[in-house]
A and B are shown apart, each in its own frame.
Chain A
Amino acid sequence: MKTGLRGNAAIVGIAEYPHQRHYTGPPMFMLEQWADLTFAALVDAGLQARDINGLVCYEISESDSFVPATIVEYLGHPVNFAERLDLGGASAVGMVWRAAAAIELGICDVVICALPFLPVPAWETSNVKDSQLLFRSTSTQWGSPQAEFEIPYGNVGQNQGYALIAQRYAASYGYDAAAMARIVVHQRRSGALNPNAVFHDQPVSVDDVLASKLVADPLRKLEIVMPVSGGAAVVVASKEIAARCRHRPAWITGFGEHLTVKTPTHAVDMCLTPIGPASRQAFNMAGLRPDQIDAAQIYDCYTITVLLTLEDAGFCAKGDGMRFVREHDLSFAGDFPMNTHGGQLAMGQADAAGGMTQVVEAARQIMGRAGARQLARCDSVFVSGTGGVMSEQSALLLQGS
């Protein structure tokens, strides 16, 4: 029996703040950003505030708990479906499939998924230190395995975890630093045409990547996302609602999600990532194969994340990623269009909203609204999301009718 989504829900509206390294606008509370992004995404879809009856959120800076109700009250529209996700960079993809599932269950028909990340007003001079920010993803709480067995050895934050995975990959399958650099080069070529990208109009060469500072062996600075401000929202709606929206709907026809470990030290095999099972489920649900998609929007916190996703999602065989990257043009103009918005390596990473850039670009390409980087044909797009250090990964298949 076929299980999962029937493809009766679609992304019908999108909104995205331009990414900035040094934000030039006024600070906004996240509740304000929620209202702002929701309005923009509804207008984009051709819908109105009263149409909302579901929402999926992440954390907000104004409240540690009761976040969905706080947002619902602020927006002023009651909902039948509310979720708060805690999947890091996989949250954006996780939001979209949960919205689609709720719509197909018939409990709502217009769901807002938003991830605001502009600077918020500071009550007083912020005393948060960089070292404290590092611990956001590595818990210092008593009883946390990370506090007891990771932090004392300096395994804090993300860079080192991804570096450990890359080193293991190198020992198991070999490593070609120039091939990895091509991922950055091709994405930055696409990102150069994206006005919302922090590296708009700033292509780089393989030599630039290889000459950038080594951060944690073998990862270099240009292979790592730059933290930026930003934020984005999408509206997911039912078939009936989609019929009266302004753009070509991006139907949600498949999804998968898989969680294994928080810390990759404990992964059965560091080089076999959760996107494998997640993607297989997504492709099966949609009735598609990896060679049938028109674009791949692959979560790219680091180049190694992209490489392992290409392999584990089935775009090439295990251990064949370096060759795949060497032999394909991954830019929007190439034979394997990947991260046609430049990915987060070109856009910058606005915290968990980084993952929403991949979702928004997938919808934008299907809607035919990607401007100078629009693909000639874009009917099927694979999207991936990655949280933590390959801790949790999600996959989506979006299709135009």
Chain B
Amino acid sequence: MIVAHPGNALLPRPTELSLVFWNGLAQKQVRIQRCADCNKWVFYPRCRCNACLSDRLVWQTVSGCGQLYSFTVNREQQTFSPPGRVSPILAVVELDEGVRMTSVLVNVDEAEVEIGMALIPFFDRIDDRLTLLKFQPARRP
């Protein structure tokens, strides 16, 4: 089931399990799971570890910092973000913990985007319950 949003956005409908992740984002925290048996970091949220299938997964708050693994600029398809929040730069981000996630880049010029660039989270608050995790360039020292 998809949740319609003004502007044709298709927003996530959290599950009972993934609510910890989404509630974390609403509080500007990135929470991901880690396996207490094999220590693997796990994303997206699962009921069992995707390395050893243990159910001893523990939620931990991480920095949300990482680097750009790949990106593309969508020149054709409609995007499904709310108006005013459109970012055509689709990104695959590898967090410092090693897990990867799909997201979009914000606060960046297309010409500056480079695979391997350091990224920090951008918490895009949609409403009281839902915040999307987007990414922006880390400030250079």
- Do B78 and A141 touch across chains, with their CB atoms under 8 A apart? no
Tell me if B92 counts as interface (CB < 8 A to partner A): yes
Mask of A118-145 contacts with B, CB within 8 angstroms, 1/0: 0000000000000100100000111101
Query: Which of B75, B77, B116 interacts with A156 by CB under 8 Å?
Result: B77
Given A140, A157, A168, which contacts B2 in the complex, CB threshold below 8 Å? Answer: A140
A164 near B77 (CB under 8 angstroms)?
A: no
Residues of A contacting B88 in the complex (Cβ-Cβ under 8 angstroms): 154
Complex CA–CA separation, A277 to B100 (angstroms): 23
* Contacting residues, chain A, for B102 (C-beta < 8 A): 149-150, 153, 155, 263, 265
Give A353 to B35 CA distance when docked, in angstroms.
42
Partner of A153, one of B2, B78, B104: B104
Residues of B within 8 A of A263 (CB): 102
Among the 9-residue stretches A181-189, A213-221, A364-372, A373-381, the one with 4 or more Cβ atoms under 8 Å from chain B is A213-221
For the complex, what is the distance from the CA of A266 to the CA of B99, rounded to whole Å? Answer: 8
A: residues with CB less than 8 A from B are 131, 134, 140-143, 145, 147-157, 159-160, 163-168, 171, 213-217, 263-266, 270
Let me know if B12 is at the binding interface, CB within 8 A: yes
The answer to whether A152 touches B72 (Cβ under 8 A) is no
**Contact pick for B104, options A154, A163, A164, CB 8 Å:** A154
Q: Is the beta-carbon distance between A151 and B115 smaller than 8 angstroms?
A: no
The contact string, 1 if C-beta is below 8 Å from chain A, for chain B 1-19, is 1100000011111110010
Chain A contacts for B44, CB-based, 8 A: 145, 148-149
Is the CB–CB distance between B10 and A152 below 8 Å? yes
* A169 closest partner in B (C-beta): B70
Bound-state CA distance A143–B134 (Å) is 21
**B interface with A by C-beta (< 8 Å):** 1-2, 9-15, 18, 44, 69-81, 88, 90, 92, 100-104, 115-116, 132, 134
Q: Are B115 and A160 in contact (CB under 8 A)?
A: no
B75-A134 in contact (CB<8A)? no
CA–CA, A154 to B90, complex, Å?
Answer: 7
Given known A153-B103, A265-B92, contact A171–B80 (CB-CB < 8 A): no
Report the bound CA distance from A156 to B90 in whole Å. 10
Contact A168 B70 (CB under 8 A): yes
Residue pair B73, A157 in contact (C-beta under 8 Å): no
Given contacts A148-B12, A148-B13, A266-B100, contact A154 B70 (CB under 8 A): no
Residues of B within 8 A of A159 (CB): 74, 76-77
Q: How far is the CA of A142 from the CA of B13 in the complex (A)?
A: 7
Cβ contacts under 8 Å, B79 to chain A: 154
CB of B83 to closest CB in A, whole Å? 14
Known: A147-B13, A152-B11, A265-B100. A270 touches B74 (CB 8 A): no
Known contacts A147-B12, A153-B103, A154-B104, A160 near B92 by CB under 8 Å = no
Q: Are A214 and B75 in contact (CB under 8 A)?
A: yes
Bound-state CA distance A165–B71 (Å) is 9
Are B80 and A156 in contact, with the CB atoms below 8 A? yes
Q: Give Cα A30–Cα B80 distance, bound, in whole angstroms.
A: 33
